[in-house]
Amino acid sequence: MSESLPAVDFPRDIIKLQYPLRNFVEALRGEGPVRIVAMGSSSTAGRADVVPYPSRLEMYLRQNYSDHLPKVRIDVLNRGKGGEEAPKELKRFDADIFKDEPTVVLWQIGTNAVFRKQDFDFNGVVDKIAEGVCLLGKHPMDVVLIDPQYVTAMLRDDKAELSEKMVSEIRRIAADAKINVFQRWALMRHWHVSNGVSFEQLLDPTDGDKLHQSDWSTLQISKALCNSIVDASVAASWLPAEWKS
């Protein structure tokens, strides 16, 4: 299947993180392990035969910095739990984020509030995202929100409008808090519209709900996120641009 897939690009205006990752760079300059926590639901936890993005991100980041920082170990800790949303995830912050004292938190949110809209109060979830961002901001860590995936299940019936609303709310919360958003929604839509990637290629073929990404599209997201993090570390002005892979 991979041989028939079209090439995709990572437009900088989509994947660029607005703010430099200063805590991440400071940790790279230290002697201890550099911890990144990936909080989220099934897109983070992984499902079926799809390798979850945190595992791939860890591999790509280690490869990127190995030549210049051979003694630095980067660990991406997977704290995803399928089906969860911000209200439940906030209750896990102490045990699954703060305990590990990460330098970066990647928080994937918003999908279940749309896909299972009958089970969630949309505005309540948005409020909990804002509350979580406030809690994270009290700790010395860089925060990157990851918005929903652009897939069939998020575009059916009235879910398309709700998905766009969630993407907008996540961007608004991030802008108010001056933190980063990794625009997964916009990137996957770009692949579909501009690169000619079909939904069948974006989706896990074993998922009847047409919600979860394929192993291939998860790999591409992992690469894009790695590029975003590396760019933002160079932007912190403490690393030379030639360190970018």
Per-residue pLDDT of the chain (245 residues; tens, 9 = 90+): 445 778 999 999 999 999 999 999 999 988 788 999 999 999 999 988 899 999 999 999 999 998 888 888 999 999 999 999 999 999 999 999 999 999 999 999 999 999 999 999 999 999 999 999 999 999 999 999 999 999 999 999 889 999 999 999 999 999 999 999 999 999 999 999 999 999 999 999 999 999 999 999 999 999 999 999 999 988 765 555 555 54
Burial class (CB in 10 A: 0-12, 13-18, 19+), 237: exposed
Look up residue 140 and give its two tokens.
């010395």
pTM of the model: 0.94
Query: Which of 224, 188, 237, 211 lies closest to 53, judged by CA?
Result: 224
CATH, domain range 8-243 = 3.40.50.1110
Sheet holding 34-40, edge to edge: 74-80, 34-40, 104-108, 142-146, 180-182
The answer to whether the CB of 231 falls within 8 A of the CB of 182 is no
Q: What are the domain boundaries of the chain?
A: 8-243
pLDDT of residue 25: 92
Phi then psi for residue 96, to 5 deg, are: -105, -10
Distances (CA, A) of 116 to 84, 89, 184, 230: 10, 16, 19, 34
